[in-house]
Structures are given as structure tokens and as C-alpha cells.
Amino acid sequence: MAQYVPLITSLIAVLGALGGAWVANIFNEKRFQAQAKLEKETQNKKLILGKAEELYLLLTTWDKDVFNYQAYQLAVIKGELTKAQFHTFLSEFSARSTHDRLDTLLPLYFPELTPAMAELRRHLDSGNKAYHAHERNDLDTIEARKLLNASVKSTGQAFKELKKSLSARVHGLVE
């Protein structure tokens, strides 16, 4: 039996070392998984913040463009600008890339804001309808101005609400 004592001692030492390595591996795996999860969350947060910043900038740019567009429509209705001057403005004005980018970012990264965007477009559309009705002589100047002024106000408010919602989403991520 004495001859087996060194063998048993060595076997216990090997089993202890293997058990220790196994336990250390389990803890390392848990630490690695937690670190990977944290890095993924950090990267996702960084991505969303970047896209939110881009979207906010696009909304601000589009807000200014829409305001100018509606101001020109009002100027035509009031007789301060001719239709030719308005069409010259339109030919120099291109918000297509802004629209394309907005239509990409909003549903992909911020789908909860899609109803607010639909509301904004509805207000914008009401102003366009009033302008075109006046252009076709289906609406008199006073009524067209009234409807377009209401559209300008409601569109501006819709832009504020949309940007406010986006800002709240960003602040929720940062906190």
C-alpha cells in the first residue's frame, strides 16, 4: 500500500489541477460572455446615437426647407411672387437626398417615430392641397391663405414634436 501513496498523491494533485483549470475556465467563460455582451451593447448604443444625431440634423434641415417652401407658396398666393419665380425656386431646391435618408433612417432605427412622421406629412400635404386648389382656381385667395397658414403652423409643430420625441429617445439611451 505504501507503494501506491505517491501514485494516489500524484493522481489527487492532477485531478485537483484539472478541476481548478475547469473551474477557472467556467469563470473565464462567464467573464468573457459578460464582456462581449457589454461591448455589443456599447456598440449598439453608439450606432443608435450616431443615427439619431444624423436623423435630427436631417429633420432640422428639412424643417427649414419646408418652411421656406411653404413661405414661397404663401408669397405666390398673396401675389408677392409669380408662379415662374416659385418654379425657379423649386428648380434650385432639391431635398431628395434628405427625403431618401429620412425614409431610410426612421423606419430602420426609430420605427416608433413613424406615426409622428406620418402626422407631419399629413399637415404638409394639407398645405400643398390648399396651394394647388388655389392654383386651379378652386379656392379663393383668402381661404387658401387661411388653410396654408394653418398648415405652416401645424407642420412646424409636428416637426417640433418629432424632434422632441427623437431627443427623448436619445436621452433615454444616454441615462
> Predicted confidence band at 74 (pLDDT cuts at 50, 70, 90)?
very high
pLDDT at 137 over 80: yes
Say which amino acid occupies 96: R
Residue-wise pLDDT for 14-65, tens only, equals: 878 888 888 888 888 888 888 888 888 889 899 999 999 999 999 999 999 9
Tell me which residue has cell 398648415: 151
Q: What one-character DSSP code corresponds to residue 3?
A: G
Alpha-helical (H) ranges within the chain are 5-78, 83-92, 96-109, 114-135, 141-174
Residue 115 CA to residue 117 CA, distance in Å, equals 5
pLDDT, greater one: 86 or 93: 86
Grid coordinates standing for 47?
Answer: 450606432
Contact between residue 166 and residue 56 where contact means Cβ atoms under 8 Å apart: yes
pTM for the complete prediction?
A: 0.78
Domain spans, the chain: 50-174
Q: How many CB atoms lie within 10 A of CB 17?
A: 10
CA–CA dist 8, 19 (Å, integer): 16
Q: Is the pLDDT of residue 163 over 80?
A: yes
